[in-house]
Amino acid sequence: MRTTVAPERDDVAAGSAPVVRAVHVRAPQEKAFRLFTEQIGGWWPMESHSVFGATATVAMEHGVVVETSATGERTVWAEVTLSEPPNRWSLRWHPGTDPERPTTVDVTFVADDEGTRVIVTHTGWEALGERAQEARRSYDDGWVPVLERLAEAIG
């Protein structure tokens, strides 16, 4: 069965509109939340979505998402601003960019009879100034393989 990651909204347009992507996973809400947050390094697509590449790792460290290269170089992707297990996780998001100009990633986990709907809402593009539209376009596409990988990891 192929997982489809679709926009949560029909009106996502260029500019400062939020990027909203969602995937349904066949797992209880608690498991989906734990995998996305505490076990992010086990499923995140480092080969395509990292600062240091496929040989790097990513992990949660005391409320901070940190990527570490194979040579030990480190960069902070995000700081957790809200954690409400198993419902919501929010981040000041700035992987490989200026931490003083973060965007916001809000992940909600909605239980249903067949598992959990994981919804990523990415906002705050105006913080990026002239890079805003390009970054928004990149993340509009970029969240798709991330959520597909999450669904694959859950099985």
Model confidence, pTM: 0.90
Residue-averaged pLDDT of the chain: 93
Q: What is the pLDDT of residue 11?
A: 38
Nearest-CA neighbor of 109 among 34, 15, 16? 34
- 3-state class (DSSP) for residue 133: helix
79: amino acid identity, one letter:
E
Please give the Cα distance from 119 to 7 (Å, whole number): 9
Say how far apart CA 128 and CA 22 lie, in whole Å. 24
Percentage, residues of the chain above pLDDT 90: 89
Statement: residue 4 has pLDDT above 90:
no
Q: 11-35 pLDDT, tens per residue? A: 344 468 999 999 999 999 999 999 9
Q: Is the pLDDT of residue 143 over 50?
A: yes
For the chain, the domains span 19-40+80-154
Residue 110: the pLDDT is: 98
How far is the first Cα of the chain from the last one, in angstroms, to the nearest whole number? 10
Task: Kindly indicate whether the domain formed by 19-40+80-154 is annotated with CATH number 3.40.190.10.
Answer: no
Partners of 91 in beta bridges: 80, 105
- Quick: pLDDT tens for 104-141: 999 999 999 999 999 999 999 999 999 999 999 999 99
